[in-house]
């Protein structure tokens, strides 16, 4: 039975929790509208960092992540979300309309998944190798919707080629001033509700220990996590059958799934898209997956030694800026 009206406060709480979702440069390119019993999700075109996200795919991926987070948030509150994707063919910025019906029973797993939303961080420091990867991969594969995105786990043996592709991306962009201006803008210290704060960035010395990373402006930090001399994460790639908006939205939903599943397993994650933004490095990533579908993003997954600090939570835009009640 779809179409039950959620209490406005329950709706607001769920949207606020969902908006902890990751987004490219923490741009949070989404807008939610409540109309009657339905909740609508729109992408905000003016928040897309165009010099980075040349195709606009990453903004839609970010919205896919917030959509899946919303589903997780309402489930923990006792509601099932019924999602219609791209319900208006005349408005492709209208990404989804969500209706709700009461959930029969809220399990501990529903609550744990919602808790993982708050615990998750993008961690740019080096990771130790993820323990018991085979078991974790089996769990991961059982939860993700392969109609939306396919998951490739890259072998450790291809790591040098991947690191080379990561360096290639940075070299190709060395003189791209629009890209660098944008990176500086999204990491500027005066922004309080969006962008990547200094605390989430790495110092030059820390950067040397992670061979696959987007090169953000380096920050001054005392050397953190010195016990991990070099990153030993496992790298997974999410790919889609094509580069359509629908594919990007689905990929974002699967990204959310993977990040929350990893968080629940006690693993740290870092989403990476610098290599899928440029054709040359994207081709290398595609070849390394051994498939001919479209690589959308990579995720470093690993373990943070227990004595090590995790990065603080990044800021979010105020709820009033992202959620609108109409009528």
Ligand X SMILES: Cc1cc2nc3c(=O)[nH]c(=O)nc-3n(C[C@H](O)[C@H](O)[C@H](O)COP(=O)(O)O)c2cc1C
Q: How far is the CB of 272 from ligand X (least distance, A)?
A: 4
Q: How far is the CB of 131 from ligand X (least distance, A)?
A: 23
Q: How far is the CB of 251 from ligand X (least distance, A)?
A: 9
With b for 16 or more beta-carbon neighbours within 10 A and e for fewer, the 309-324 pattern comes to eebeebbbbeeeebbe
Q: How far is the CB of 191 from ligand X (least distance, A)?
A: 11
Please, are residues 238 and 61 in contact by the beta-carbon 8 Å criterion?
A: no
Residue of this chain nearest to ligand X (CB atom): 22
- Cα(19)–Cα(69) distance, integer angstroms: 8
The DSSP symbol for 197 reads -
Report the residue number, 26 or 97, with the smaller CB distance to ligand X.
26
Q: How far is the CB of 224 from ligand X (least distance, A)?
A: 15
Report the residue number, 99 or 257, with the smaller CB distance to ligand X.
257
- Cα(268)–Cα(261) distance, integer angstroms: 10
With b for 16 or more beta-carbon neighbours within 10 A and e for fewer, the 112-141 pattern comes to ebbebbeebbbbbbbbbebeeeeebbeebe
Report the residue number, 289 or 296, with the smaller CB distance to ligand X.
296
Report the residue number, 6 or 225, with the smaller CB distance to ligand X.
225
Residue 31 tokens read as 């807008």
Report the residue number, 24 or 154, with the smaller CB distance to ligand X.
24
- Cα(171)–Cα(81) distance, integer angstroms: 44
- Cα(145)–Cα(147) distance, integer angstroms: 5
Q: How far is the CB of 276 from ligand X (least distance, A)?
A: 9
Residues that bind ligand X (CB under 6 A): 22-26, 58, 61-62, 65, 121-122, 124, 196, 200, 214, 270-274, 297, 314
Q: Which residues contact 11 (CB under 8 A, 6 or more apart)?
A: 34, 39
Report the residue number, 47 or 274, with the smaller CB distance to ligand X.
274
């Amino acid at each position: 039975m779809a179409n039950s009206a959620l209490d406005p406060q329950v709706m607001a709480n769920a949207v606020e929790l969902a908006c902890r979702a990751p987004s490219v440069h923490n741009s949070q390119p989404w807008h939610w509208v409540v109309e009657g019993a339905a909740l609508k999700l729109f992408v905000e075109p003016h928040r897309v960092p165009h010099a980075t996200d040349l195709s606009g795919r990453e903004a839609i991926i970010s919205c896919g992540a917030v959509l899946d987070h919303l589903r997780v948030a309402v489930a923990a509150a006792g509601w099932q979300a019924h999602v219609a994707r791209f319900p208006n063919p005349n408005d492709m910025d209208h990404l989804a309309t969500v209706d709700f019906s009461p959930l029969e029973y809220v399990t501990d797993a529903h609550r744990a998944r919602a808790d993982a939303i708050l615990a998750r961080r993008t961690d740019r420091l080096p990771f130790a190798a993820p323990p018991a990867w085979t078991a974790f991969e089996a769990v991961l594969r059982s939860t993700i919707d392969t109609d939306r995105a396919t998951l490739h786990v890259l072998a450790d043996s291809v790591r040098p080629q991947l690191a080379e592709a990561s360096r290639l991306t940075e070299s190709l962009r060395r003189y791209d001033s629009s890209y660098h201006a944008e990176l500086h803008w999204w990491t500027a210290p005066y922004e309080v509700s969006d962008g990547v704060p200094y605390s989430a960035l790495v110092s030059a010395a820390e950067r040397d220990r992670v061979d696959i990373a987007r090169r953000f402006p380096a920050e001054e930090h005392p050397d953190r996590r010195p016990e991990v001399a070099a990153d030993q994460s496992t790298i997974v790639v999410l790919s889609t059958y094509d580069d359509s908006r629908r594919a990007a939205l689905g990929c974002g939903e699967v990204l959310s799934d993977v990040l929350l599943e990893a968080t629940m397993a006690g693993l740290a994650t870092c989403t990476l898209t610098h290599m899928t933004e440029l054709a040359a490095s994207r081709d290398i990533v595609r070849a390394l997956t051994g498939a001919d579908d479209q690589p959308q993003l990579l995720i470093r997954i690993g373990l943070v030694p227990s004595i090590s600090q995790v990065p603080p939570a990044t800021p979010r835009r105020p709820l009033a800026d992202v959620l609108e009640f109409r009528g």
